[in-house]
Structure 1
Amino acid sequence: MGASQRIKVGLLGSGNVGSQVARILIEEAQMLSQRIGAQIELTGIAVRDTQADRHWQAPAELYSTDADVLIDRSDVVIELTGGIEPARTRILRALNAGKPVVSGNKALIAKHGVELQQAAQASGAQFSYEAAVAGAIPILRPLKDSLSGDHVNRVLGIMNGTTNYILDQMDTTGAQFDDALAEAQRLGYAEADPTADVEGQDAASKAAIVASLAFHSEFTIDDVHCEGITSVTAEDVAAASEDGYVIKLLATCERDGEGVNIRVSPTLVPREHPLASVHGAYNAVFVQAENAGELMFYGPGAGGNPTASAVLGDFVSIARRLVTGGAAIPESTYAQLDSTPMADVVSRYSIGMEAEDRVGVLAAIAEKFAEHGVSISTMRQTKGQNAGGEPTSSLRVITHRAEDSKMRATLHDVEGLSSVRAVTSLYRVEGE
């Protein structure tokens, strides 16, 4: 294939991202062709409804409801429909026919990525999905290529813009969760049904993808421990701030003995850590490697234009390979590490408690921590009154590093003390 030949592109989906990909393929066709070394042609756009309103309107004759025909007549397929089916079946149709595929479908890749990569390897087709994680931020290719000669030990990531906006609003304005969520929805950062974002599922899909590449293994979303932010209160955010932290929904992927622990949870990050300065709906991924040291990738994590940029980056790379006749590059999964259980995770913790304000209470709580080998770093007490006018004490404990199983056992015993009314919060502390 040379400059006089043509690469036919089939686009599946014309939502926010798909529309912008179509626009760039049409409006920037000459520039893209010059970079690729061959003419490109958008041969069609598969949609459910050819008459629907679009974020950007392509020529009407490009829209079709027959995705299979479009796949069969294309040289490269770009899948931006989202969801599991029919996206999975359509991608497999293309890959099994030896056609390279670009996708931004994080949920599908986190669930069936192993199957899709196996199909790609069997047919010699390239399967690329930079847009599946962190929008325009180039993070997957650096993990696959730039750091392929290094040992990645840990990845910390703010991988969901909606939750970062909500937590940032709670931190900077003192808003409660519901109010911050409503503002995110008004501004278009959150969907009408924000469940996948606020329950951590979106970030968990991305964490599974990142961990697979960073540690050369095969992980799915089922390997990710997932906690959302719906229980985070303005009081928790304020208490974290007083202790010098900010709460972020953090995806953590780290070596844990002979395996990898992958988790998503609201986490305390020190104010001086680079991730603490990520505001609004932005994303950032912090990588710790043995030789490269600490690296941070930062930028817009969603949106039509930023995500389209990542899609087109994959497309240009694939198209160049078609022009030069280069072979597809398979995923490196040689390590085959297993995911490790949360019980084995070692971390620092921040715990909030409500207790009676009387002599001996703090000593009794400290004794339970000592019994389980969990060392207290700091303990802060704020006095108040309950509805009946009785004196109460709000406690905030930050521990030294401890195993998750020991921390859970400690809190079980603390909750059994008659002087402790409730354990109100438990957060991991990362980035120190």
Structure 2
Amino acid sequence: MITVDLPSSVPEPAEPPVLSRHWDDEQSWTLPNYLRRNGYQGLKAALRMRPDEVIELVKTSGLRGRGGAGFPVGTKWSFIPQDTPAPHYLVVNADESEPGTCKDMPLMLASPHMLIEGIAIAAYAIRARHAFVYVRGEVASVVRRLRAAVAEAYDAGLLGRQVLGSGLDLELVIHAGAGAYICGEETALLDSLEGRRGQPRLRPPFPATAGLYASPTVVNNVESIASVPAILRNGTDWFRSMGTERSPGFTLYSLSGHVARPGQYEAPLGVTLRELLERAGGIRAGHTLKFWTPGGSSTPMFTAEHLDVPLDYEGVGEAGSMLGTKALQIFDDTVCVVRAVTRWTEFYAHESCGKCTPCREGTYWLVQMMRRLESGDASEADLTTLVDITESIVGKAFCALGDAAGAPIMSSLEYFRDEYLAHFPGGCPFDPARATAFADGGPR
């Protein structure tokens, strides 16, 4: 083992970027580069505190989970019971598979040690000696990058026995998943990690009491864990100086689709799409914004009327959607809403694990109905049937996949019912073969 001397920490500006600040450094993923950028100073600070003090600090910071639901990270850590002889486990959910979501993969590619440092801090706080990163198996480059960084950390005494000369012993395993969207659901991920078919578990018990190997387990998203080191380095006031009161801090927004410069944009929570589009060069030339998702395809869509909605958990929720994974898919006026929703519905039907009847059967019939509507082989009465099928799934499936399948359908009907009606008879009005116009600004 090669011991490493950590250089002194230097003050950091209280503004984004934080997670992505050094992504463009030469070989940003290496340990020497990370150490030059205040790397492992957060872990060093955590090891000077008691585990419960670390949990309380993260709770005070207001850091919320960056994987979808926005549950407070420190509160989730505090759920781990300390009066049990069972081992504690930390599992990082890196099974990023939500359509439009592409923030965790570049983070792990560019700065894997930021994640490893966060894992070490979290493991110390919850008193875990084993941690796992469950990575989507298709991204072999990320798996290789993480494993190389883990090897560097072991060699430097940042993982393994007596981390940085403290009482922390930590083993970290990078596990490549088998490519199923459902494994992004935390209990299905745990089943897959244990070697079983990835399917959601009945809850309770919750992972905090009976998770991996029936032991107390914390499951956190990559960005959630990677945000922890900066809080330990700079303090809670520094973190809360960004974002909003109830959604403090910084985060990564993934902009894709019809924007001039798609990519990752780090900003304080509460930024608006209008502001992000200014950074991204706006909608592609000659076109206007039609609809967009604030948190991936599983969140109800927004329209151009929502350009100034604050993109934090409360603002998006009050406007009728969810912040989710902050995957902003942007669609301009050339896109058929019905066609886009049909493709999303096909995805959810394909990815349903089949465990529960509402999702297994319901998503199949949603696809059949959406295809009929897209082709124009339907009537207005079929829209009623579509809503009935959707309502038989939403809130009644075993996990959130059923709700995800229903979100784009119900929201698109709310905002674009006329566009559905324009499909029959005759098919999609956006088909170049049809020289009809519909609504204001529709194709000619």
TM normalised by structure 1 equals 0.29
User: Larger radius of gyration, structure 1 or 2?
Assistant: 1
Give 1 or 2: higher strand fraction. 1
